[in-house]
Amino acid sequence: MKLIKRSIILLFIFTVIYGLSYAWRALPIISGYGAKILCSCTFVAGRDAENVIAIELGRSPLSVGTYTINYTDSSASGNVFGLASKKAIFRKGLGCTLINEIAEEELRAQPYHLASSPALNPDTIPWPMGNLLPDSLPAGINYDQLNQVVSEAFEEPGPNQLRRTRAILVLYDGQIVAEKYGEGFDQRSRLIGWSMTKSITNALVGILIKEGKLELHQPAPVPIWKDDERSNITLNNLLHASSGLKWEENYGGPSGATNMLFKKKDMGLYAASFPLQHEPESTFYYSSGTTNLISWIIRKTVGDDNYYSFPSEKLFHKLGMYSIVLEPDAGGTFVGSSYSFATARDWARFGLLYYNKGKWNGEEILPASWIAYSTTPAPAAPLGEYGAQFWLNAGAPDDASRRIYPDVPADLYWADGFEGQNVFILPSKKLVVVKLSLSHGDYLDDNVFLSKIIETLP
C-alpha cells in the first residue's frame, strides 16, 4: 500500500514538474506569436487592433493570452496570465520584429538602408506594372461561371468551419480576369504570405546565382560547419529541404520551428547549430529552419550596406511590387521562411514572373534555367512533391491519383503558406491564381477550386 502511495506521489510530482517545464517553454511562444501578429497586422497591414485580437488571436490556445497595442512607440505586447511577456516593435519599411535575445534600444538602433520607391501613381500605369486594367477581357472565358467559382470560395461551409477567404485573384494569360475580396479587405490590403516567403527566398538566391555570387552545388558558406560533417551540405540541399540537419517543424507546441520564430534573435544561425541526422539529399524534411539559414547566407553574400535594399532593387521594384514588406529577425536578417506582407496583386505579380519563366518587360530577372530547376522534383521528395522552395504537382505526371491535386494538370506548382495562402502557377492553362485567407477547420478544397476554374477557360 505504501508503495502505491509513493508511486502516486512521485507520479504527481513528475506531472507537476513536466507541466511547469512545458509551460515555461510554451507560454513565450503564445505571447510571442500574439505580439508579432498584432504588431504586423496593425502597423504593416493597417488593420484595427481590436479586430486582429478578436479574429487572428481569438482561438485556443492564443485566446489565453493578453495582447496590447502601443501607438506611441509603435509596438505590440503579449503575455499569458502576466507571464512570459513578449514585445514586437515596428520600424518603417521593415515591418515588425520580436525583441529576442537583444535589448530594445539596441534593436531600435540597428542601421538599415532601404531602396527608395519611385514617385508614381500605380492607378495610372497599365497592369502588370501598375493597377490600370484594360477595358476589355480575354475572349472565350465563361465569366459568369468563373465569378461563381470565386464567390463560392468565400462562403463558410458551417458555423465552426472557418474558411475566412480574404482575397482571390485569377490571371489568365497575364490578365486579371477575376478578383474578389472579403469584407474589410481590398486591392490595397497587405496580407501575410507566411511560408510563401520561402518562394521569395528562392528568387533572391536565383538572382545571386545568376550574378555569380553563390554556387548551387558547392558547400554552403556557413563558417561553423567548416570543420565537421555538415561541411558537405550544399545550397542545393538547403533549397531542396534535404539538408539532413536534425529539425522539428511542429507548430503544435515547443519545437525547433516555434523556438526559432518566437524566441531567437538570429534564426538562421539557430537552425545552423543543429547536428547532422541524415546524409545530405537522402531525406526530405520540410524545414523553415533551413530557409532562414538560406536567408542568412543571402545577407552575408550581399553585405549589410546593400542587404536591405537588395530585394527591392533586384526584384520587387522591377515587377511593380511596391506594397511588399519583408520582416527581419532581431539580428537583422529577413525571416525568409515566414514573414512577408503584400497585396493580392503583388502576389500575382510574383507568380507572373515565374509563369513568364523569369522574364519581365523584356528583362531576364531570373534565368529560365532557374525556373526549371526550381520546379524539378527534389530527389529525396517521396512523391516528387517539392522542388526548390516551391510545391509541385509533377511527381506523378502519368498517375493523377498520386498527385497532390489529382484533377489539376501535372505542371502546376505553387508557393504555399500557413492558413491557406497560395500563389498557384499553371503554365499549361495560362493561369496564375492567388488565394489569401485565415483558414481553420474546413480549408477550401484547392483541387476542386482549381479544377472548376480550369473548366471556365477556353
Answer yes or no: are the C-beta atoms of 175 and 127 closer than 8 Å: yes
Alpha-carbon torsion, ordered 155, 44, 360, 318, to 10 deg: 170
pLDDT at 363: 98
Q: What share of the chain is helix, strand, coil (3-state, %, to 5)?
A: 40, 20, 45
Answer yes or no: are the C-beta atoms of 411 and 394 closer than 8 Å: yes
- For cell 539529399, name the residue: 281
Higher pLDDT, 236 or 4: 236
Q: Is the pLDDT of residue 396 over 90?
A: no
Q: Is the pLDDT of residue 1 over 90?
A: no
Tell me which of 196-205, 215-224, 325-334, 435-444 is least confident.
435-444
Distance CA 13, CA 17 (A): 6
Amino acid present at 2: K
Please write the tens of the pLDDT for every residue from 347-390. 999 999 999 999 999 999 999 999 999 999 999 999 899 999 99
The single-letter DSSP state of residue 144 is H
Answer yes or no: are the C-beta atoms of 94 and 327 closer than 8 Å: yes
3-state secondary structure of 181: strand
pLDDT at 7: 56
Which is nearest to 218 in space by CA: 238, 198, 196? 238
Which is nearest to 350 in space by CA: 149, 171, 112? 171
Q: Residue 441's pLDDT band (boundaries 50, 70, 90)?
A: confident
pLDDT at 117: 87
Answer yes or no: are the C-beta atoms of 179 and 187 closer than 8 Å: yes
Q: Could you count the other beta carbons within 10 Å of the beta carbon of residue 382?
A: 11
Tell me which of 8-22, 30-44, 175-189 is least confident.
8-22
Q: Is the pLDDT of residue 56 over 70?
A: yes
Q: Is the pLDDT of residue 293 over 50?
A: yes
- For cell 553563390, name the residue: 214
Q: Which residues contact 72 (CB under 8 A, 6 or more apart)?
A: none
Average pLDDT, the chain: 94
Answer yes or no: are the C-beta atoms of 241 and 290 closer than 8 Å: yes
What pTM did the predictor assign?
A: 0.95
pLDDT at 3: 63
Tell me which of 211-215, 302-306, 354-358, 441-445 is least confident.
441-445
Q: Residue 86's pLDDT band (boundaries 50, 70, 90)?
A: very high
Q: What mean pLDDT comes out for the span 182-203?
A: 98
Percent of the chain's residues with pLDDT above 90:
88
Please write the tens of the pLDDT for every residue from 248-283. 999 988 999 999 999 999 999 999 999 999 999 999
DSSP string, 274-318: SPB-S-TTSS----HHHHHHHHHHHHHHH-HHHHTTHHIIIIIHH
Expressed in angstroms, the distance from the first to the final Cα of the chain is 80
Q: Could you count the other beta carbons within 10 Å of the beta carbon of residue 158?
A: 9
Q: What mean pLDDT comes out for the span 109-137?
A: 95
Q: Is the pLDDT of residue 2 over 50?
A: yes
Which is nearest to 194 in space by CA: 358, 50, 41? 41
Distance CA 215, CA 212 (A): 7
pLDDT at 13: 53
Q: What CATH number was assigned to the domain covering residues 143-455?
A: 3.40.710.10
pLDDT at 104: 98
Which is nearest to 446 in space by CA: 418, 415, 424, 417? 424
Q: Is the pLDDT of residue 346 over 60?
A: yes
Which is nearest to 431 in space by CA: 448, 416, 400, 409? 409
Please report, for residues 6, 18, 115, the alpha-carbon distance to residue 9 in angstroms, rounded to integers and kept in the order given.
5, 14, 63
DSSP string, 169-206: EEEETTEEEEEEE-TT--TT--EE-GGGHHHHHHHHHH
Q: Which three cell numbers stand for residue 343?
A: 497585396
67-101: burial string, b at 16+ Cβ within 10 Å, e else: bebeeeebbbbbbbeeebebbbbbbeebbbbbbbe
Please write the tens of the pLDDT for every residue from 21-46. 545 578 999 999 999 999 999 999 99
Amino acid present at 305: D
Answer yes or no: are the C-beta atoms of 40 and 341 closer than 8 Å: yes
The single-letter DSSP state of residue 63 is G
Domain residue ranges of the chain, discontinuous segments joined by +: 2-107, 143-455
